[in-house]
Structures are given as C-alpha cells and as structure tokens.
Chains A and B, each alone.
Chain A
C-alpha cells in the first residue's frame, strides 16, 4: 500500500489505464504540457505524447462532442472539464447525445467515455469555481455519475469508469485534491460503479453523504463517539443511479437518517435519497429524515463570511447529528 493524495490517485489511475489500453486518451484545456490547472494530468504528456494528452481549444461543447465522436469510433476518451461549473456549454452534448446514444440507436452505437471535472467549495472559488452540478445530470438515464471521497475509491472507480461501456461523469472534489490522503493498493483493482460503501459502522444514527461530506461526517462522528453517540456512515460514491439497496439498509439500521450534501438543498441528490427512504422504510424510521445542505441561493459567495455560511463543515454536521440522535 502506498499513501497518496486524492489527486495523485486520479493521475495514477489515468496513467495505469493509458498504459493498459492504447484506446484511452485524455483531452481538455491545459491538460497537456501544463498537466492541468490542478495537475491531475501531470507527467502524462511527457509519457504518452500530445496526441494522447491533447490540449484542446477553449471549447467545452466540442471537448464533449469530439470525445463522443471518438468514443463512437472505438476510443475511450477521458475528457476534462477544467471546473464542473464550466460544463454548462457541454450539457446538450452530454444529455442529448452521450446519455442517449445507446438507447436511441437500439444498442447499435455506444459511447464509452469519461468526463472528469473538479467540483465543490470551500476554496474561495465563489459562484463559478465552487459549484456542485451533479443534480443537473442526475435524472438522465444512460449516464452514470461517480463522486468518490477517498484516494482508494478515486483510483478504483476511475479505472472502472474508463473501462465502462457507457458514459460516466466523474466529479472530483477539488478541496479534497490535496487535503485528503489515504492508502491505495499497489496492484490493479477496480471498484464497482453503482455501489455505495459503508465508511463507518454505527447504531444510533445514519449519515448518508458523498464526496467531502464523508470526511466531515467521519470527523463529527469521532467527536460524538465521546458523547456516546454511535454513527453509521454510508458513502454513496455513485450518485446516479443510486444504490437503493444500500440506502434502504443503512436507513433501516438506525431508523434515524441525516442526508448531507454541499449542493443546494432543493432538488439535490439527497431529495432522491429521501424519496427512496420514504418509499421503503416508513415503519423503520424513528424520526423524520433530515437534510443538511447548502441554502437555496445560486452558489457560495466569495467573501469568507458568506462562503462559510453556505458551506457544510464538520461543526454543522456534528450539530445536526447530535440533534438527530436526541430526537
């Protein structure tokens, strides 16, 4: 086992997959010589050359659209959107095209493509460098959306995404890039897309979250242990389609559920998780399902006071978890 940062796990998965399969290539803005604005593709240009680590014009719709064409030809493109916030010009390509290519052609054509994008706040990124955009795509059958929390999950899930025969949106929490470190196996491994993961077993309350929220929940849970509150933490890992079985099991385990996302509350991934629980767990619940999320304002502002107010953090989780335990 090697200890890696979250972003090193991204680079390592890309490198492995490009070595393993010649059809894998990377395209995006600044991914080549510069190695990406966050350095996610660092070293790949030198190793694989400019045709497989391709700097594109500033052109998100074409990054997606050209990737889709290459995928239909038989390549496995990994496109990078520099920030998830900038994916919007590519939404037509992703939703109208990538997600529907298999279905609309009755299984004749397919689109094995990954779109990676850094998302998330707490980095003084303001409205357009902080957003969570998963909810925009999370009711589009044909797409898969992966949002890992740990370096181990990043590497195993990015490999799985690249090997997947359908389009996968792979959202990486940009604050986690260097903040989160963890052990990553030396050998080749793949983690299943569509499967949630219990990050901590517990008996009193259940927290369901993903991305950076997982770490905040673990931190809060540790403090609450001292007060005798035992937390069960489920990491969704894939936010679309949701692992319903795992959600139901985790909710039933304690009967008290807190759903956490740093996205805006209304219409978020957690709205769907809540619906799954209400459809399946009514007689197992001991309290109303609770949600902790960003307020329903467009995105987090730049000034530190307002950013902190918007963003979830371990203290906010701790309070919400304690309240739920005391219900």
Chain B
C-alpha cells in the first residue's frame, strides 16, 4: 500500500477533500441510477444521465472557487451542480417537476439546471448557447474588477455549433477568465466522434482562439483537477481563457428515450464499463488508505438514505398550480 504514489497530496488535496470528491461522484451516480429506476417504473417521464462523466465533472468543479465562480452547465452535469451546492432533494424535485424545484419550478425537463444562489446559470435545450453566456459573466466580472472565473461545459457534439466558435473567439480576443470544458463522451446521441469532427481533437481548436487547449483523461478526477486548476490559476492571473477536452464515457443511452444498442455493440459498452471512474477512483482511495471498508459502507448507507428520503419527499411534494403557467413572463410589477 505504501508503494502507491499519493497523487492527491502532490496536488495539494487533503484526504478529506479527495474523500469528499469521491462522495460527490458516488452521490451523482446513485442519484442518476435512482432516476432511471423511477423512469422505468413510470414515475418520472424523462432522465438524461451523467453516468461515466462524474470524474470530469467533479474533478473540474473542485478546482474552482465554489463560493465565487460561476458555472454554465449542460444537461449531463449532475455532478457539477451537486458540487456547486444543489442538493439531492432539489434534484429530485426537478425530476418529479414539482413546484419547489429551484431550477425551474417544474417548468423544464430534468437536466436543465439553474440556481442563482449557487451561481448556476439557467440553461436551455438548444446546445452551446450557454457558452457565450459564460463569456458574458466573465466579461461583466472583469469590468467590475472581480477576480472570478466562469466554467462552461458542453458535449463534443456541441463543439460544432456556431456559438462555440463565436464564444471562444470573443473570450480569446478579450482575454476573459473563462474555462471551457468539453466533456467528450464520443457520441452525439448516435453519431460517433469520427462523424462529428475531423481535427485530431477538440482541444486542438484552442490555438485558433488564442488559448491553450488540453486533452485530459476524463476518467481520472485528479488529472482533471490538475488541468482545471492550472486553467483557473491562469484565469485568476489575468492570462485569459483555456479550452479543456475531458475524454469520458457515456455509460448509458443518450436519454431514457434512446436505445444505444441500435448503434453501439455489446463489446464496446462492456469495454467502456471497464474504464468506470467510480471503480478506479475508489480503488485509488483504497490503495492510499483513504477509503476503508467501514468508511465505504457508511458512505453508501448515508447516500442511500439521503436518496430514499429525497425521492419520497419529492414524490409527495406539490405540483405548481395550473395557472402558475402564466407567471413570470415579465418582471412582476412591485417586485417578487
């Protein structure tokens, strides 16, 4: 055991911090798995997964200042929003489309995150629109002399949209503190990577926008942490934006309405599962003596209880009144 390189200490992370990272990864995975059960049981109409991308999401988030920085997440970023402070209870309220859902009060499909108090920008379904928003946050903060960064995440399919080009070019020209992380799970629904981009990598595009581009193993939360931490340091030092491509796996179908067996082989899916970061990171933590069997059992129980309670509470929570559909098109007079 002592032969194992303690990588997290070298990165300046304490045992508590890496254990907390693992806890959040596990929580994200288990919330996601519960949502599939609820979907298949006919209790919630839709689920779209983070499974296979937790390491990238949590590795990146923990490299930020979670009290000050902003994030413009995309629909798979369950792990990101958990790290930014959204609770399990709130995520289940969203899954059940209940009135108290902080993301949208039950207006949007699950996965359309947003929570102002935690600086999680509200998102939509057309992809990559959030990228210029993150640039706008960084621009506004810079104008105010606030030394903060914004993180924007998206899939690699989204990196082909015009807003990717327009937003990154803008951030590059004005040297804005924006960290763009592409979570490359190699599929845009059914279309594989080689039918999406012709460059070697998405990270290669950084040079065109005057910023460094790094590809990183997205199954390794510590490696993602290291790269995003560097990007964050650059942002804080006024050195401008960074493009990061985290290579991840999409362990589920695109969504609860997709059947990935139609375009992926069993072998491919099996191979992906071998790279699951939940397994490899737990193993690392065991190897360095941070995760003991007792701790692991306690952690699992604690998370299972949390999810059970949140599921039940959300299922029993009230829906919005029908007429609430009319509210908040514009600012209500007299404030709200």
Question: What residues of chain A have their CB less than 8 Å away from a CB belonging to chain B?
Answer: 25, 51-52, 56-57, 59, 61-62, 64-75, 77, 89, 92-93, 96-97, 100-110, 141-142, 144, 164-166
Contacts and interface: CB of A to CB of B under 8 A. Distances in A.
B247 interface: no
Given A102-B329, A104-B124, A142-B330, A61 B140 contact: no
Interface in B116-138: 116, 121-122, 124-126, 129, 131-138
A9 to B, nearest CB: 25
Contact of A100 (B70, B124, B137): B124
Contacts of A107: 327-328, 332, 336
B45 interface: no
A26 B311 CA distance: 47
A108 B103 CA distance: 8
A77 B173 CA distance: 19
B133 A97 contact: yes
A81 to B, nearest CB: 14
Contacts of A142: 329-330
A75 B143 CA distance: 10
A106 to B, nearest CB: 3
B88 to A, nearest CB: 19
A64 B136 CA distance: 9
Contacts of A51: 143
B136 A67 contact: yes
A103 B162 contact: no
User: Most chain-B CB neighbours within 10 Å: which of A67, A104, A141, A144?
Assistant: A104
Given A65-B132, A96-B129, A102-B331, A108 B173 contact: no
B114 interface: yes
A108 B90 CA distance: 14
B328 A68 contact: no
B126 A62 contact: no
Interface stretch (B26-34, B47-55, B73-81, B104-112): B104-112
A93 B132 contact: yes
Contacts of B133: 65-66, 68-69, 72, 97
Contact of A66 (B114, B135, B327, B328): B135
Nearest to B136: A69
Nearest to B121: A72
Contacts of B132: 61-62, 64-66, 68-69, 93
